[in-house]
Amino acid sequence: MIQATQVSWRSGTNPVIDGVSVTARPGRVLGLIGPNGSGKTTLLRLLYGALRSGTGRVAVDGDDLTTLPSREAARRLAVVVQETGGETALTVAELVLLGRGPHLNTFQRTGPADHRIAAECLTRVGAAHLGSRPFAGLSGGERQRVLIARALAQQATHLLLDEPTNHLDIRYQHEILRLVRDLGTCAVVVLHDLNLAARYCDDLVLLGQGGVAAAGTVAEVLDPAILETVYGIGIQRLDLDGAIHLLYHPHDQPAVQRSAA
């Protein structure tokens, strides 16, 4: 479990996140949603320690994140951020193998078990065929899958991802998020697509104007009355076969009318 209590971050004199509290629970996927500039990535960085809040506290399984040794933190938290990493000369297989680092002692070399785990992780994200290729030569979508494979190879108890579906086509957007969901671990995911959030998250935190506009289950947060206030656009919610689907329309246009069959 990851608990952030009253965390804040400023960019110069401007508050980006101000007194925000969130909880990511074991075995559940928490989605961070909100408009551009609402602080989603900033909050995620606070949760894994890339940024340190000037207020409050972040705890991982009850332990203050700031007190965890770096190796122990890496065993608990695996992170996939928006980065290209195109400057590296490593092959895909070598890059994914770096995920095994937290499980090795100082100066210990990777062994057959580490290589097997790395290969399995590449297979899980549909990138086994890329193993021998230079990472720098991959497309954006291929790089994203490889970075997720590296995080999986880390075998951490918590997984944090910043827009993991960026650059991916529709098929892999769903495959990656289904994979994250099926891991059964504590996961925190930054998402822009609310329909993907509805399908693959268990809980949501909606950010707006530096704070939490709503938090709870998917059904609770994806309330058009709440979303319209934060996003400034008309939203229609359809509940079909137990799944939530959102349709969008400018405020000066009517919502889509469903025909009565």
Q: What would the pLDDT profile of 57-81 be if each residue is shown by its tens digit?
A: 999 999 999 999 999 999 999 999 8
pLDDT score of 131 more than 90 = yes
Give the sign of the dihedral formed by CA 137, CA 141, CA 145, CA 151: positive
Local confidence band at 258 (pLDDT 50, 70, 90 cut-offs): low
* Dihedral angle of Cα 177, 49, 151, 69, to the nearest 10 degrees: -150
Residue 11 is predicted with a pLDDT of 85
- The pLDDT, as a whole number, for residue 79 is 95
Query: Is the pLDDT reported for residue 88 higher than 90?
Result: no
Please state, in angstroms and rounded to a whole number, the distance separating the CA atoms of residues 15 and 90: 39
Residues 6+ apart with CB under 8 A from 89: 134, 136
How high is the pLDDT of residue 167?
A: 77
Residues 6+ apart with CB under 8 A from 177: 164, 165, 189, 196, 199, 200
> pLDDT digit string (tens) for 1-14?
999 999 999 988 88
- From residue 254, give the alpha-carbon distance in Å to each of 53, 96, 249, 251: 43, 49, 7, 7
Distance CA 192, CA 169 (A): 15
At 250, the pLDDT band (50, 70, 90 cuts) reads confident
What's residue 256's pLDDT?
57
pLDDT digits (tens, 9 = 90+) for 11-54: 888 889 999 999 999 999 999 999 999 999 999 999 999 999 98
Domain ranges of the chain: 86-156
Residue 255: pLDDT over 80: no
Q: With contact defined as beta carbons under 8 Å apart, do 40 and 33 qualify?
A: yes
CA distance 226 to 229: 6
**pTM attached to this predicted model:** 0.88
Angle, CA of 93, 99 and 101, to the nearest 5°:
115
